[in-house]
Amino acid sequence: MNNEVIYAMGIMNYCSHDPACCLLKVKGKNLDIAYAEEGFLSRKKKSYQFPLRSMKYCLDRFDIKINDINVLMLDYMDIKRPLKTSNNYRLLVGDFIRSRLNIDITKIKFVTSHHYAHALTAFWPSPFEEAAVMVVDGLGSGQQTTSVFSFNAKGKSQLLFEQKGNGIGLLYTLITQKLGFSSGEEGKTMGLAPYGENVKKVKIDELNLKGFRSGCAIDYGHLLDRSPTAKLKVTLNRPKNKSDVYKDYFTKLAFELQKETEDSLTYLALQALRLTKKSNLCFAGGVALNCVANNKIQDLKEVEGFWVQPASGDSGIPIGLALAGLQEIGIDLNTLMTRENRDTLASAYSSDKNPLSSIVDKSVDKLLRENNVIIEKFNAQKIAESLSKKQIIALYTEGIEIGPRALGHRSFLADARSGEMKDLMNSKIKHREGYRPFAPMVLKSDFYRYFISSTNEHPYMMQAPKCTEYALNHVPAICHVDGTARVQTVTKVNGIVFDILSSYKENCGESVIINTSFNDNNEPIVFTKIDAICSFLRCNADILILNDLVIHRKRLVNIGELQRSALKLQKKIMDNFFDLSLKQLTSISKKTESKALSQFIHMNDKLSRSYRNERVIGNFIEFLLSRNYKRLLFVDDFHFILIRKLCEILGLKFEIICPQIKIVEDTIKIISELKADSDFALYNVSAYFHNNFTKSWFNSHETLNSFYDLSDKKLDQNFLLNNTSPDSFSSDFHHIKNTYEHRLDLTIEKFFTKLSNDNIKNN
């Protein structure tokens, strides 16, 4: 390799609950990474925002402009194009911003698939020369749910299996929503699950959560419809209020779901090893965040080595996209990925020791000075003494975690020796559900004193091994109700938290403390110093550590005034950064009126609704009228009713249109029943029919005809029977909730009206 500097950027190309940006810099054999989640900078968790701020942040880290990058690698949903990667979804504010990016369009490229990007993040940071890579999530490109890759010693990859349609990730998300949580809050379901283990009087048997297994495929067609019309086909109770989730029915439901997840993932792990003929396994995708299931996989005797990507959800996708971008412009990853560079990718911390310091530090210093905040120098022994006295520490130290787990750089730390600390942390610090567990950090050298596992390598908090009897008795606050703990092992590489934990051990004899993310409930992990101050003041911790500085809450003179000033400063910094991001990276300016946004959204809303509804029903009528009536037609009950209704509306004779019709279940089990030279309208089964890895399961595949394509929405019964669209889009912008941008108090229309007015005033 020469010394030319190469930049590859990766961002997701459609709405993600965890938007982020990664920028890789390559010079010769040196690799450097800049990374940030959009929520870090917008202070909105699960934001579905376009990652404009994080793009600017990454560019600023390397002091370059957007057109200095060599490639911008995107993923896609159904179609490889910069805008509207799926015709099913209307374009919204984030898409409007993306359409105005100031970038040479020839630099935009598309990854092979969403799952391939996940696979790259799983293999290259791992310690293995070769491995099987398993990717499991809710939804990827072309309705992906599960993929198995093989990576050989030369770094070459091969996709060996791919499931499309429905999978365990989709099932977990849909039931999580039924429990009253939001998409992206599957961790709450996992935490609730152990409370249902011993519930006997509630039966969930009628749901039959167990999937049907065939090779690497696990089908849940009896429970749900696949994406893009993802919904449960079974009726479940919903909690009437938040406290209802503690009732036996819901805890039992969570338990049964978690058990099926563990069973399905251990099964898939064994299938992946068998298929690839490897003994090492890497794991990524949103489902890889299920630390309890991960521990089950780790303990399989067939698994020699196991590595889980700490940013395994969509927040990690930009890293894989940037790696794919390097491949796209001709860089051989096997040559580039020295052990040092692989370790760089494997680091759970960013290299930015003090994010946005140039625009934050002076303002923060002034804030503390004007509010007479007393500051002392960091001393590990004093902090350890405070911990032993049940004081809660808010720790902000160099480097921010990559991924959703706090690993000692943005953490709340607390004493674990009393079970009461868990309740205190949940109520006064995190303001969250009382059943949710707190994770421990432990000195790696003392791991086996507290935990039972086949390895003491747990640096990322991605597994939940069993606690020893000693741990249950001496550090009960970190032991969940099922006797497990989502543990992180700590060594010197973790920075000052190692010094704190070592001093704590000297002070009270234990090597374990509570470690949870430094943020309030429904807030992203703190990013900058001002975020840390605001969260500290809101969450009632006793001590704040800002790198080498320490602030004691009890020494603050006027907390109310300090908090108001801090929040005002935080908002000012956030607003200015977003305005600069728009100005520097897009063509949006004072000439951009809300009318342009209105037209953009309304046009695409009409197109999307037409594609989802009128197009599909029109195609179905054409399918029924143009088919050879002598061919047998397979349908499920749902489509049988629709055909009857269509015949009634259109004045058609059902007996003429469908002289040979058979009603079956829309699940993988009926594939073998589909006879040659027949047609079928089966939504879930169509995903297997259009999948190169499963189409051979059909008898005489080439003579069969499926109504649905992979990207089709399921026919809308309400639309047909009522002739209305249940998800029609209101034309009144003042009733649209602004879920995308940083001003949560503004409607979409007012957002850009304000932007125009502000720019006019400033010019």
Q: Is the pLDDT of residue 746 over 80?
A: no
Residue 717 has what pLDDT? 79
Q: 629-632: which pairs have CB atoms within 8 A and are 24 or more residues apart?
A: 629/656, 629/657, 629/658, 629/659, 629/660, 630/659, 630/660, 631/660, 631/677, 631/678, 631/679, 631/705, 632/660, 632/661, 632/662, 632/675, 632/677, 632/678, 632/679
By the 8 A CB rule, do 502 and 380 touch?
Answer: yes
Banded model confidence at residue 358, pLDDT cuts 50, 70, 90: very high
Q: Alpha-carbon distance 232 to 239, whole Å?
A: 16
> Quick one: three-class SS letters along 88-136?
CCCCCHHHHHHHCECCCHHHEEECCCHHHHHHHHHHCCCCCCCEEEEEE
Banded model confidence at residue 755, pLDDT cuts 50, 70, 90: low
Residue 1 has what pLDDT? 54
Residue 484 has what pLDDT? 95
Q: Alpha-carbon distance 460 to 494, whole Å?
A: 11
Closest Cα to residue 97, out of 576, 597, 591, 574? 597
E-strand ranges in 333-483 read 376-377, 393-396, 410-415, 439-443, 451-452, 466-467
Cis peptide leading into 19, omega within 30 of 0?
Answer: no
Residue 328 has what pLDDT? 97
Cβ neighbours around 696 below 10 Å, total? 8
Closest Cα to residue 285, out of 136, 173, 160? 136
Banded model confidence at residue 721, pLDDT cuts 50, 70, 90: low
Closest Cα to residue 344, out of 130, 125, 492, 155? 125
Question: What phi, psi does 678 have (nearest 5°)?
Answer: -135, 165
Q: If you search the block for the tokens 């890895």, which residue do you land on?
A: 693
Q: If you search the block for the tokens 């108001």, which residue do you land on?
A: 564
Which is more confidently placed, 718 or 96?
Answer: 96
By the 8 A CB rule, do 55 and 535 touch?
Answer: no
- What CATH number is given for 357-567 in this structure? 3.90.870.20
**pLDDT tens for residues 192-243?**
999 999 998 887 766 789 999 999 999 999 999 999 999 999 989 999 998 8
Q: If you search the block for the tokens 């927040």, which residue do you land on?
A: 315
Q: Is the pLDDT of residue 732 over 80?
A: no
Domains of the chain, by residue range, sit at 5-119+314-346, 128-308, 357-567, 578-598+731-762, 603-722
Q: Is the pLDDT of residue 78 over 60?
A: yes
Q: Looking at residue 460, what DSSP letter applies?
A: T
Which residues lie across from 442 on neighbouring strands? 489, 512
Tokens, residue 181: 């949580």
Residue 506 has what pLDDT? 97
Q: Is the pLDDT of residue 729 over 60?
A: no
**pLDDT tens for residues 382-437?**
999 999 999 999 999 999 889 888 999 999 999 999 888 888 887 778 776 777 78
Cβ neighbours around 697 below 10 Å, total? 17
**pLDDT tens for residues 182-194?**
878 899 999 999 9
Burial 14-51 (b: 16+ CB within 10 A, else e): bbbbbbbbbbbbbeeeebbbbbbbbbbbbbbbbbbbbb
**pLDDT tens for residues 554-585?**
999 999 999 999 999 999 999 999 989 999 99
End-to-end CA gap in the chain: 47
Q: Alpha-carbon distance 27 to 71, whole Å?
A: 15
Question: Does the domain spanning 128-308 belong to CATH 1.20.870.10?
Answer: no
CATH of 5-119+314-346, one of 1.10.760.10, 3.30.420.40, 3.10.290.10, 3.30.70.260: 3.30.420.40
In CATH terms, are 5-119+314-346 and 128-308 the same topology? yes
**pLDDT tens for residues 512-536?**
999 999 998 888 999 999 999 999 9
By the 8 A CB rule, do 228 and 88 touch?
Answer: yes
Residue 757 has what pLDDT? 59
pLDDT > 90 fraction of the chain, expressed in percent and rounded: 78
Residue 594 has what pLDDT? 73
Which residues lie across from 516 on neighbouring strands? 412
User: Mean pLDDT score of the chain, rounded to an integer?
Assistant: 91
> For residue 61, what is the enclosing H or E element?
helix 52-61
Closest Cα to residue 366, out of 154, 177, 555, 533? 533
Closest Cα to residue 8, out of 98, 74, 80? 74
CA–centroid distance for 142 within its chain:
18
Residue 749 has what pLDDT? 60
By the 8 A CB rule, do 140 and 173 touch?
Answer: no
CA geometry: angle at 203 spanning 199 and 207, to 5°? 130
Q: Is the pLDDT of residue 59 over 90?
A: yes
**pLDDT tens for residues 310-335?**
999 999 999 999 999 999 999 999 99
Q: Is the pLDDT of residue 753 over 80?
A: no
Rounded to whole angstroms, what are the CA distances from 306 to 67, 269, 272, 293, 303? 39, 10, 12, 13, 7
Residue 437 has what pLDDT? 80
Q: Alpha-carbon distance 484 to 295, whole Å?
A: 10
> For residue 76, what is the enclosing H or E element?
none
Q: 362-366: which pairs have CB atoms within 8 A and are 24 or more residues apart?
A: 363/530, 363/569, 363/573, 364/529, 364/530, 364/533, 364/569
Residue 155 has what pLDDT? 92
